[in-house]
Structure 1
Amino acid sequence: MRLILPLLLAVPLLAQPDLVPEPAWRAIFGAVSARQIMEDTEALSRRHRYPNSRGFLDAAAWVQERAAEAGLINPRLERFDERAPFWDPVEATLDLLAPETLRLADLRDVPVLLMERSADGEIEGELVDAGEGSRAEDFANLDVAGKILLTRRSPGRLWPDLAKRGALGVLSAASPRFFGRAVPAEATAWQQAPRGAVAFSISPKLGTELAALRRQGPVRVKMRARSGQSAPGATALLLTEMPGGAPGRDVVVVAHLDHQQPGANDNASGSAAILEAARVWRQLIGTGALPEPRRRVRFWWSTEISSEGKYFQRYPDESRNILLAVNLDQAGGERGADNHLIAILSPDWLPSWADDLIHQIAGSAGRLAPPEHAPSPLTLAPEGSQQPLRPVFWPYAPLSDHVPFVDKTVRVPAISLAVPSLSVIHTDFDSPARLDPTWLKRSAAVTLAAAAWAANAGPEEANALLRYSTSQAASRIAAAADRQAQLKQEERRLDSFRALDPALDIEPHRRRLRAVARALD
């Protein structure tokens, strides 16, 4: 009975319709264009979009024009001054001079060749292999005077001492790992230059080849680096909004616009997908397939994490005006890979209704493309995969633009979505050709659905989510190692529903969860 009782308590709550009904899903999936998202992703991928760069501002201006075409209004670019000047790569070449002459790399072919914030210069010298090159002992017994350093990692803070010893520049063949996944040996990583160094990023494959050549005898190379710099520098946040909707408890849809070129999945794809979500939302309102939002909806394109944090520092009362943030960081996955829709859950200090909202909506979308049979054609894109839509829920991790919203000083609930490409992000291999159009379509659709639900939620919708959340909470309590601690978290989650509707009666739900916890103790 102790095991059966919580299930009995939850059963009446399980039989309820999806928060997004099937006709709405059909309208959304039917209207979202993977081709349009891909075209916009390609346009952004042709730009260097480093933080604190003219390239970022150029990309923001491009997005602003497209946002206006999509029907968004009141554009504003919030700029945040930086001590460092704007920095944009202009030209970089790496040449082998001896034992033979050969062009090894060119910025036009390898957009991340010139490390971000590299110094300008034209230098040539003998190559010295420093191995890992990130520890003082790696250089202790090396003669670096007049030499160019070949490393497996950037020397970072060691550079000033190496420069004093006469080192000329750095070639770093770094191979970053994301969640244990190494990038391909042919891929070149986005890296930050040691301050004051002429520094290039090269692929592990090229690094291995140069190290092997160096073991056979002296190797001489030439580095030519030129950037565009102007002061004062600034990071920025582009803000727009949809017409209509009452301000005061707004929904923010956000994607970071910055990163290296091409940065297709991370995050030109997310930036393009929320632009398509805005277009489709306006279109479906026009046809009557979706209602006009009750609440104001804002669309933001950010410098990842930092610009929103600075925005809330500049406008500390703004957090009171935001009901929910929906973040999309990587929309297209990787063609040929086993892709999943990732949702990052709320931190322990901010349990909220947002987790169960995305759990229900992503699960509802997934039922249109389940693993046990062929997905609905609505969820597919031409030239895209036919993979099932399987949502995966990660515990809170400070990885993307949800971070400044859920910060303890801001405390805005956030949904953070991604279809990551962990084997190529932050490299020159993160190109549009590697994206899966089916996942571009799905990412935009789920983002739109979650934001539209929150923007339109009235008492009826809030009660429907409250019932679903209570059933989920009962399951979480039953599965918890410390049920009393979990009960406290779930009661705090119930309290969060008052932001949706202050008149909600949450006490019956609180009593039900307490009964579940008692039955299991």
Structure 2
Amino acid sequence: MRKNLFFILLFLFSITSAFAQYTPFYQYTLLAPEVMDEIIGESSGETAINHVFEMVGYQRNRPASEYGSAYFREGKYVLDKLNEYGIAGAEIERFDGGKTWDGIKGELWEVEPGKIKLADYKDIALSLAEGSKPTDVTAELVWVEEGLKSDFEGLDVKGKIVVTSATVSRVHNTAIEKGALGVVAFGSSRELTAPLAIPASGIRGENATFGFYLTPREGYKLRDRLIHGEKIKVHAVVESQMLPYDLQVPTCVIPGSDPDAGEVILSAHIFEGYTKQGANDNVSGGAAILEVARIINQLVADGRIPQPKRSIRFIWVPEFSGTIPWVSAHADIMEQTLCNINLDMVGLHLKSNNSFFSLMRTTFGNPHYINDVMENYFVYMGEANREILANRSNKRIANQIIAPSGTDDAFYYQIEQHYGSSDHEVFNNWTTHVPGVMLITWPDMYYHTSQDTPDKLDATQMKRAAVIAAAGAYNIASADEEMAGSIATTSFSYGSKRMGIELGRALDELKYTDAESFETTCKKVKVYLEATCKNELATLQSVTELATDSKILATQLETLSASTKQLFEANSVVLDNQIELTASKLGLEVPSYKLTKLEKEASEFIPVPSEKIKVGAFRVEGAVRNLPKAIQEKYPYTNIASTTELCALINGKNSALDIKKMLDTQHKEVSDLQSVLNYCGLLKEAGLLN
């Protein structure tokens, strides 16, 4: 049997290798070439990047007239464009936002020994720290280095304004406790690459006074003067107010032909607070999905592509703060939603920033074919837009997709493990369980700074982002029985590659084990194969929703699932053989892998979510922090790699032991099994588990 499995492994590896990467002369997409040609041809990088210029041409003082029941500039622009494009159901939904800080004026002048303006809110909006309160003071500056408590020792800062190379937020509270009036800062994590960039920062609390930011270049000049003993006095003036505001969510839908077939949702944030107004990190994703909405709507209206079976919905949100109430208010839509495609920062010129356009996959808690559909278009964009050496005597670049005013760079991309910190997390949360992926350019040396401006973007990158998002969304929205089968085989192909990667990881970790850690390492690396296989099987089954009554698809999925299990068994043969060789080298016996008492208990405990898990109740698991101290002490937990992922893995099927294995496979940190059980105990005490 072991010999047969070895040959199965060789056979499957030869097949999956062919599918896992493109040959030099053959690039393909799930959508038919004629549909892709229409999407590529209709897409406009110039239109997308012009949206950015219109919404955030520069960072400015947002006028008070935009708050309250009025429209924020960005949201009104999106709504006007949707109406111009004739897209159905265009509206702005509103949710209560409470009150927010609004800057009016902020000036910092040196008045002794010279008369020099150091900072002005009108020049650079981020030069005034968000949360600064009204003030009008003249005071001496004092240098406090990084603003650590030890840096204040022996310094008299009472009635003075401190200057620091750290951030305003880090130094402010300590400075005020010591009697300082306010803070001038020039801290930046990217001062060598972006010496003129001011980071977005703020101050909070009842004791908040004011803070000004200088660029690192100007900050170091001021520091040197103070270090050399120069007495400098400044005049600081701040005018600000707190204003009520609404959370505004522009939205529209391209209706599908079958109202009961479900939806695909594209999301992007156009606000991240209302002071920071970045081009890449704030509105590039929103500009891209606005172009996606135009592309698909136009192509369908012209009859150039068929109306999709499923609806495609678009939402432009305040990051997290708007997504959470919108999802919560639309539980009915969430029940019908197949998946979410979230575009965060997508327009950066990749080459000049050493950046990649990355697809952040879902976790094992949300296994879904959306990962593989989107990967298909990422890979196509990468392969079709680079010069391939093997093709040098023929067509060197298969299908160059560029904007007329953009670069003609290759497409630098990565398919990466899940990362949160954007709106797809609201969809992925266990209260909603709508699988969501994120598209993002990273790294970005300018994000969250005053230099996140439209000149850093590339029209070609905006076009490519729009093409990928439009193709992925339309692919799923229009999928029939035959396309569902193609998606399933694509998931199997990419899944086989992922299983091979985990085998390679397991074999490599095994190389570095010693006699003391041998048994633990063996158990750990075998888990990598087991957990990954479970995730791939669940991913294949997720395709069922595209053709629920199809016997053909059901049979196809049975075959692919059986092949996945065979591949797991074949990989296990290879790993077990290496374990035997390693045991022999170390003079040890192969471990028995018998479950411990705790593991047996965990394998028999299958947590089931309760009715209290309502759609949109984002981070409801935070309720465990409000449990009585006695209960928390009864169920102590440490070393859980991610409680968010732990909760997402609670589906009424996974045992507590399964959950630990899946956590360990996805994270560097090993989760403690007793802690996993204890955390489930806390969730049950909070009424979140049956």
The one of 492, 496, 511 equivalent to 2:542 is 496
Judged with a 3 Å threshold, the aligned counterparts in structure 2 of structure 1 residues 160 and 17 are, in CA distance, closer, same or farther, namely: closer
Q: CA deviation at 1:371?
A: 4.3
Which residue number in structure 2 is paired with residue 208 of structure 1?
220
Judged with a 3 Å threshold, the aligned counterparts in structure 2 of structure 1 residues 250 and 141 are, in CA distance, closer, same or farther, namely: farther
Judged with a 3 Å threshold, the aligned counterparts in structure 2 of structure 1 residues 49 and 303 are, in CA distance, closer, same or farther, namely: farther
TM-score, normalising length: structure 2: 0.70
The one-letter amino acid paired with 1:185 is P
State the number of aligned residues.
514
Which residue number in structure 2 is paired with residue 242 of structure 1?
254
Q: Partners of 2:483 and 2:27 in 1: how far apart? A: 12
Q: Which runs of 5+ in 2 are unaligned?
A: 1-5, 21-25, 390-395, 507-527, 574-690
Q: Which structure has more helix as a fraction of its residues?
A: 2
Judged with a 3 Å threshold, the aligned counterparts in structure 2 of structure 1 residues 28 and 338 are, in CA distance, closer, same or farther, namely: farther
Q: Partners of 1:391 and 1:128 in 2: how far apart? A: 47
Q: Partners of 2:171 and 2:460 in 1: how far apart? A: 45
The one of 362, 386, 392 equivalent to 1:370 is 386
The one of 7, 10, 23 equivalent to 1:4 is 10
Q: Counterparts in 2 of 1:83-102, with a 5 A limit? A: 83=98, 85-102=99-116
The one of 339, 342, 347 equivalent to 1:324 is 339
Question: 8 Å contact 2:270–2:282 — kept in the other structure?
Answer: yes
Question: 8 Å contact 2:79–2:92 — kept in the other structure?
Answer: no
Judged with a 3 Å threshold, the aligned counterparts in structure 2 of structure 1 residues 138 and 313 are, in CA distance, closer, same or farther, namely: farther
Q: Counterparts in 2 of 1:299-338, with a 5 A limit? A: 299-334=314-349, 336-338=352-354
Which residue number in structure 1 is paired with residue 38 of structure 2?
27
Residues 294-324 of structure 1 deviation map (CA, whole Å, 9 limit, x = unaligned):
1111111111123212323344454212111
RCO higher in structure (CA 8 A, sep ≥6): 1
Question: 8 Å contact 1:304–1:401 — kept in the other structure?
Answer: yes
- 1:153 and 2:166 correspond: yes
SS across alignment from 1:251: strand
Which residue number in structure 2 is paired with residue 352 of structure 1?
368
Identity %: 26
Q: Counterparts in 2 of 1:419-498, with a 5 A limit? A: 419-420=441-442, 422-480=444-502, 481=506, 482-498=528-544
Q: CA deviation at 1:439?
A: 0.5
Question: 8 Å contact 1:20–1:364 — kept in the other structure?
Answer: no
Judged with a 3 Å threshold, the aligned counterparts in structure 2 of structure 1 residues 358 and 102 are, in CA distance, closer, same or farther, namely: same
Question: 8 Å contact 1:189–1:427 — kept in the other structure?
Answer: yes
Instruction: Using the TM superposition, name which of 509-518 and 38-47 deviates more.
Output: 38-47
The one of 413, 424, 427 equivalent to 1:405 is 427
Q: CA deviation at 1:214?
A: 1.0
Q: Partners of 1:464 and 1:289 in 2: how far apart? A: 22
The one-letter amino acid paired with 1:139 is F
Which residue number in structure 2 is paired with residue 252 of structure 1?
265
Which residue number in structure 1 is paired with residue 295 of structure 2?
280
Q: Which structure has more strand as a fraction of its residues?
A: 1
SS across alignment from 2:141: strand
Q: CA deviation at 1:210?
A: 1.0
SS across alignment from 1:370: coil
Q: Partners of 1:48 and 1:245 in 2: how far apart? A: 43
Q: Partners of 2:19 and 2:284 in 1: how far apart? A: 37
The one-letter amino acid paired with 2:360 is I
Q: Partners of 2:280 and 2:436 in 1: how far apart? A: 21
The one-letter amino acid paired with 1:239 is T
- 1:119 and 2:154 correspond: no
Instruction: Using the TM superposition, name which of 291-300 and 72-81 deviates more.
Output: 72-81
Q: CA deviation at 1:72?
A: 2.2
Q: CA deviation at 1:29?
A: 2.0
Instruction: Using the TM superposition, name which of 298-307 and 310-319 deviates more.
Output: 310-319
Judged with a 3 Å threshold, the aligned counterparts in structure 2 of structure 1 residues 103 and 376 are, in CA distance, closer, same or farther, namely: farther
Q: CA deviation at 1:293?
A: 1.6
Question: 8 Å contact 2:131–2:210 — kept in the other structure?
Answer: no
Residues 108-159 of structure 1 deviation map (CA, whole Å, 9 limit, x = unaligned):
32121112222222222111122222x4333343322111121233354764
TM-score, normalising length: structure 1: 0.91
Instruction: Using the TM superposition, name which of 304-313 and 482-491 deviates more.
Output: 304-313
Q: Partners of 1:299 and 1:425 in 2: how far apart? A: 24
Larger-gyration structure (1/2): 2
Superposed CA RMSD: 2.7
Q: Partners of 1:437 and 1:359 in 2: how far apart? A: 22
Q: Partners of 2:193 and 2:337 in 1: how far apart? A: 38
Q: CA deviation at 1:383?
A: 3.1
The one-letter amino acid paired with 2:569 is R
Q: Partners of 2:455 and 2:19 in 1: how far apart? A: 45
